[in-house]
């Protein structure tokens, strides 16, 4: 492996890992519309305990995030499966744990590795899946409200074009496997 590429990959891993940390005690003081919208709708909520959130023709599984520091960034990973005959689009995501959530991807172009926003309307093809994983697509949590530490859980709202919004419980696992 080229030394230059190894250095760039190391910098990228360190920068993504330097996201944010937040304790459960601080989590309750941060409220956003995610905490109370759609209370009478069919919006789904789930815990990350190996379970799968099934909503309409979507299945969301394996949601986890990296630890990070207040004011820093973190990344959320998961798998979204679309079992419908129609394509679906992930429009956006948000959480009360950060100022902004953007859909990003890591692109390797020759010896250069870069992270760039994908923007809204991320295609989830009919009968297919999108995997958010280290070194690929991820949901970048920007400007964390508080530290996120191992063992924390928080809600992440996913907005889709055709399906109703889904709230997924994301954990910061102690045993992160990449």
Is 130 inside any structural domain? yes
Integer CA distances (angstroms), 91 to 13, 94, 112, 163, in order? 26, 11, 28, 10
Is 115 inside any structural domain? yes
Tally of domains in the chain: 1
Beta strands 166-171 and 44-46, pairing class:
parallel
Q: Which residues contact 96 (CB under 8 A, 6 or more apart)?
A: 30, 31, 32, 34, 35, 145, 154, 155
Q: Which residues contact 169 (CB under 8 A, 6 or more apart)?
A: 45, 46, 47, 48, 63, 153, 154, 155, 156
Above 70 in pLDDT, residue 45?
Answer: no
Residue written as tokens 């004011």? 71
pLDDT of residue 107: 92
Tell me, what CATH number does 95's domain have?
2.60.40.1890
**Rounded Cα distance, 81 and 57, in Å:** 8
Is 176 inside any structural domain? no
pLDDT of residue 2: 52
Is 150 inside any structural domain? yes
Lowest mean pLDDT among 3-7, 109-113, 166-170: 3-7
Q: What is the pTM of this model?
A: 0.72
Cβ 81 vs Cβ 59: under 8 Å = yes
Owning domain of residue 49: 3-171
Is 50 inside any structural domain? yes
Is 177 inside any structural domain? no
Is 10 inside any structural domain? yes
Is 141 inside any structural domain? yes
Grouping H, G, I as helix, E, B as strand and the rest as coil, residue 42 is coil
Q: State pLDDT tens for residues 88-122.
A: 999 999 999 999 999 999 999 999 999 999 988 89
């Amino acid at each position: 492996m080229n030394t230059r590429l190894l250095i760039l990959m190391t910098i990228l891993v360190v920068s993504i890992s330097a996201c944010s940390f937040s304790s459960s005690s601080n989590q309750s003081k941060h409220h956003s519309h995610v905490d109370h919208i759609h209370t009478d709708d069919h919006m789904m909520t789930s815990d990350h305990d190996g379970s799968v959130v099934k909503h309409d023709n979507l299945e969301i599984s394996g949601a986890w995030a990296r630890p990070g520091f207040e004011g820093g960034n973190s990344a959320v990973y998961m798998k979204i499966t679309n079992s419908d005959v129609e394509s679906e689009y992930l429009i956006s995501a948000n959480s009360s744990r950060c100022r902004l959530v953007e859909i990003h991807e890591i692109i390797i172009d020759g010896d250069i590795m870069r992270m760039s926003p994908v923007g809204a309307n991320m295609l989830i093809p009919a009968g297919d899946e999108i995997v958010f994983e280290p070194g690929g697509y991820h949901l970048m949590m920007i400007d964390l409200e508080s530290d996120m530490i191992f063992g924390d859980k928080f809600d992440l709202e996913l907005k889709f074009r055709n399906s109703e919004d889904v709230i997924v419980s994301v954990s910061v696992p102690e045993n992160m496997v990449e």
